Amino acid sequence: MTPARPTPPPPIPPPTPPHAGLPPKPRAAVVRDALGVGAAVGLSGFAFGVTSAGAGMTLAQTCVLSLLVFTGASQFALVGALGAGGAPLAAAAGALLLGVRNAFYGLRLSQMLGLPAAVRPLAAHWVIDETSAVALAQPDRRLARLGFTVTGVTLYAGWNITTLLGALGAEALGDPAAWGLDVAGPAVFLALLLPMIRDRSSAAPSARDGATPAPGRGEAGTATARPIRAGALRHEVAVAVLAVLLALACVPFLPAGVPVLVAVLAAPAVLGVAALRSRSAARRERTAAERTHRAAREEEA
């Protein structure tokens, strides 16, 4: 009697795309979201116009800065440092450091959008937090391009128009400090920062709860991912706290704009300490394992 052949294992299904199984997102929804983001954030250009005029920038300088730079955090940092009497080079360096993140957005968007080479230099001018967030939230390239374009056009137009209105209003009102408008810049920073902190804190537990184990590893994938995410979050908090302390400690002794540059040293300092602690922990584990192995061999002997 011929033995039955073993049943082959079922084939492993291919990985499911992140947006698979979801209904197609209508273009109208993408346009609505993009218009909402662009219009809401574009209004903060009024605060920049007021802050820039209060820092001593002329109307032309303020408008050209919004037209050519077009990244809110860097613009606020630049005029803030100049208004506090900082050197132009230090102010520009601090603004450049804040704008470096847009280069990383561009690396991701260049693959996702797949724009022609002739269009990329123009599109790069619109690579900021808001356009990147809207584009990366879309399920396919067609909608990502639509969201990026609508957000970029709306935000660029709104930001520059409100910058002009803010600068004109500040010139008509006179000294912005007399009206309390000199706090517009810090207020906008806080308004942009608080939602990011809230989203970060709410996303961390959900990411842990929704983590799926790696194929063939059972629950080990989730168990391994949790301490990695927790360690990364601790490092980010440590970098932020140390950067604030460094900047505050340097404010009384260094010109305006330079404390921000010193605060950058917080990242390599925290990462260096973390690497040393990791190597020390690995060394202790290796020593403990060698001792256990040696003790086991002595018992066998």
Token pair in block for residue 188 = 């906008």
**Exposure letters 243-267 (e unless 16+ CB within 10 A, then b):** beebbeebeeebebbbbbbebbebb
Is pLDDT above 70 for 207?
no
192 has a pLDDT exceeding 60: no
pLDDT tier, 193 (very low <50, low <70, confident <90, very high otherwise): low
Average pLDDT over residues 141-153: 92
Minimum mean pLDDT range among 7-16, 106-115, 138-147, 216-225: 216-225
CB atoms within 10 A of CB 271: 13
Q: How confident is residue 217, by pLDDT bands cut at 50, 70 and 90?
A: very low
Which of residues 187 and 253 earns the better pLDDT score? 253
Q: Which residue has the higher pLDDT, 125 or 259?
A: 125
pTM of the model: 0.60
Confidence of residue 183 (pLDDT cuts 50, 70, 90): low
CA–CA dist 218, 211 (Å, integer):
12
The confidence band for 273, taking pLDDT boundaries of 50, 70 and 90, is confident
The pLDDT, as a whole number, for residue 299 is 80
